[in-house]
């Protein structure tokens, strides 16, 4: 069990983060959503306490407590005022270590989870992102939904959750981060107590393969009727923190689409008014994740907006940044970094993140040093190498009859090898 501690007696609050190095990528085929269901059911009953009684106990102690899952981790976050630390840790220990997985509570959870999935179909931005990942990570666990689908939730049972819990939520698979009004000694005692009722288990082996890049240009369209505005995601398989040029690419992308004054925002929003927002980000996970650009142009402006974004990408990979742009970006990042480490909780969570995602040692602590040493040539070489102009996935929520052909034509104009036939999903695709 790894334990990270960041003591800070300034405020009488203790924060506890307990993470398990297993996420939705460990869901069995046909039982997608199992990891998330297991995590969320922890708050819905444990030995001696119902869901309502857990809620009452947390409130009475002046605390907060929540559990959830992501692609690569199960996380429990707890926070409490210092004077109630002992009874609160005992409560956390029981909730984590002795869940009941009650049949009636599980039935309520599944009804709510299905309602969330159905409601998400009304969120066009979510649909665009989902269709992008489904295509970008085709035949890879990253393509699957953390929340599962209506079909997979139907087959899950409390017995599945208990088995999953016993295999993945173990002491050996846990990483703990504690911050706030504690000493190092007390923090390690808290970690032992909080996990004392969990099975010992073993560290779960990560068997997820590295995702492969998509080749060629692909247009994926979620067909919804009467769309006057689109949601558009453009991207490709990005970098990994272990890549030598990962940091240079992050800095370069800050200039391109990471701030309100970025090239993307200025060209799409400020100069043309085609979308309220336009940005890009470099995702990362335990394995290589995607680089994505987002915008939301109107139906009429979407084809031209897509062409503009592709043109901006082409300029970025060919010409890179100017020395003035890099100087501005480095200054911006150095100043804003203070807000990433201004609390004990943020600082200890950086160390937790390094352990959970197998990041290079010192990934966060050496940030400012790496930023100061970064040269223009390094950034521009990374931008040229990591911008695969011919290998793109474009996901759009729009009305296919109105916009599909025009978007396909826009994507194909600058493509040397053309565009693969567009894929069209219905709005209720899983």
What's the CATH code of the domain at 266?
A: 3.30.830.10
Asked if residues 297 and 230 have their Cβ atoms less than 8 Å apart, the reply is: yes
Instruction: Give the residue among 381, 407, 226, 227 at the shortest CA–CA distance from 306.
Output: 407
Output b/e per residue, 107-117; b: 16+ Cβ within 10 A. eebbeebbeeb
β-pair type (392-398, 217-223): parallel
pLDDT along the chain (430 residues), means of 10: 93 97 95 97 96 96 96 96 97 97 96 96 96 96 96 97 96 96 96 96 91 94 96 96 94 96 97 97 92 97 98 96 97 96 96 93 95 97 93 97 96 92 92
Instruction: Give the residue among 259, 301, 302 at the shortest CA–CA distance from 280.
Output: 259
Whole-number Å distance between alpha carbons of 266 and 277: 10
User: Does 239 lie in the same domain as 154?
Assistant: no
> With 0-12 CB in 10 A as exposed, 13-18 as middle and 19+ as buried, what is 25?
buried
Q: Is residue 204 part of a domain?
A: no
User: Does 299 lie in the same domain as 180?
Assistant: no
Q: Which residues contact 280 (CB under 8 A, 6 or more apart)?
A: 253, 256, 257, 258, 262, 264, 291, 292, 293, 294
Query: Where do the H-state alpha helices sit in 100-235?
Result: 103-120, 124-136, 150-155, 158-168, 184-194
User: Does 354 lie in the same domain as 260?
Assistant: yes
User: Does 167 lie in the same domain as 99?
Assistant: yes
Asked if residues 330 and 371 have their Cβ atoms less than 8 Å apart, the reply is: yes
Q: Is residue 211 part of a domain?
A: no
Whole-number Å distance between alpha carbons of 297 and 5: 46
User: Does 156 lie in the same domain as 107?
Assistant: yes
Q: Is residue 212 part of a domain?
A: no
Look at residue 1 in the predicted model and tell me its pLDDT: 79
pTM over cut 0.85 = yes
Look at residue 177 in the predicted model and tell me its pLDDT: 98
Q: Is residue 200 part of a domain?
A: no
Point out the domain boundary residue: 179, 194, 209: 194
Number of domains in the chain: 2
Look at residue 284 in the predicted model and tell me its pLDDT: 85
Q: Is residue 21 part of a domain?
A: yes
Q: Is residue 199 part of a domain?
A: no
β-pair type (49-50, 45-46): antiparallel
Asked if residues 219 and 131 have their Cβ atoms less than 8 Å apart, the reply is: no
Whole-number Å distance between alpha carbons of 179 and 349: 9
User: Does 95 lie in the same domain as 51?
Assistant: yes
User: Does 222 lie in the same domain as 149?
Assistant: no
Q: Which range of residues forms the domain containing residue 392?
A: 217-426
């Amino acid at each position: 069990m790894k334990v990270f501690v960041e003591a800070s007696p300034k405020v009488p609050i203790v924060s506890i983060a307990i993470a398990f190095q297993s996420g939705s990528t460990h869901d069995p085929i046909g039982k997608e959503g199992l990891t998330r269901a297991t995590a969320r059911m922890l708050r819905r009953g444990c030995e001696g306490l119902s869901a309502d009684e857990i809620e009452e106990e947390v409130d009475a102690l002046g605390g907060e407590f929540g559990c959830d899952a992501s692609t690569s981790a199960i996380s429990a976050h707890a926070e409490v005022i210092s004077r109630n630390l002992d009874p609160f840790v005992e409560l956390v220990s029981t909730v984590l270590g002795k869940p009941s997985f009650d049949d009636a509570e599980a039935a309520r959870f599944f009804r709510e989870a299905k309602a969330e999935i159905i409601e998400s179909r009304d969120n066009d931005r979510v649909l665009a992102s989902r269709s992008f990942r489904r295509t970008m990570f085709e035949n890879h666990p990253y393509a699957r939904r953390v929340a599962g689908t209506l079909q997979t939730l139907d087959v899950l049972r409390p017995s599945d959750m208990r088995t999953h819990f016993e295999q993945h939520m173990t002491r050996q698979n846990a990483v703990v981060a504690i911050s706030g009004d504690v000493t190092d000694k007390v923090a390690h005692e808290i970690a032992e107590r909080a996990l004392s009722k969990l099975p010992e288990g073993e560290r779960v082996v990560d068997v997820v393969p590295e995702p492969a890049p998509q080749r060629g240009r692909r247009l994926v369209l979620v067909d919804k009727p009467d769309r006057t505005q689109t949601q558009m995601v453009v991207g490709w398989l990005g970098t990994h923190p272990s890549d030598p040029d990962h940091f240079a690419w992050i800095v370069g992308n800050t200039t391109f689409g990471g701030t309100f004054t970025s090239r993307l925002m200025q060209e799409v929003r400020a100069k043309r008014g085609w979308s309220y927002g336009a940005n890009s980000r470099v995702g990362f996970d335990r394995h290589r994740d995607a680089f994505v650009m987002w915008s939301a142009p109107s139906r009429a402006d979407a084809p031209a907006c897509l062409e503009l974004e592709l043109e901006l990408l082409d300029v970025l990979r060919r010409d890179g940044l100017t020395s003035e742009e890099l100087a501005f970006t480095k200054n911006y990042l150095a100043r804003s970094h203070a807000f990433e480490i201004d609390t004990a909780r943020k600082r200890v969570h950086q160390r937790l993140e390094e352990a959970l995602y197998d990041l290079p040692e010192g990934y966060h602590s050496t940030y400012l040093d790496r930023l100061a040493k970064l040269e223009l040539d390094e950034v521009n070489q990374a931008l040229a190498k990591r911008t695969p102009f011919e290998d793109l996935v474009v996901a759009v929520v729009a009305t296919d009859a109105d916009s599909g052909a025009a978007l396909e034509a826009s994507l194909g104009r600058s493509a040397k090898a053309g565009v693969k036939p567009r894929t069209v999903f219905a709005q209720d695709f899983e």
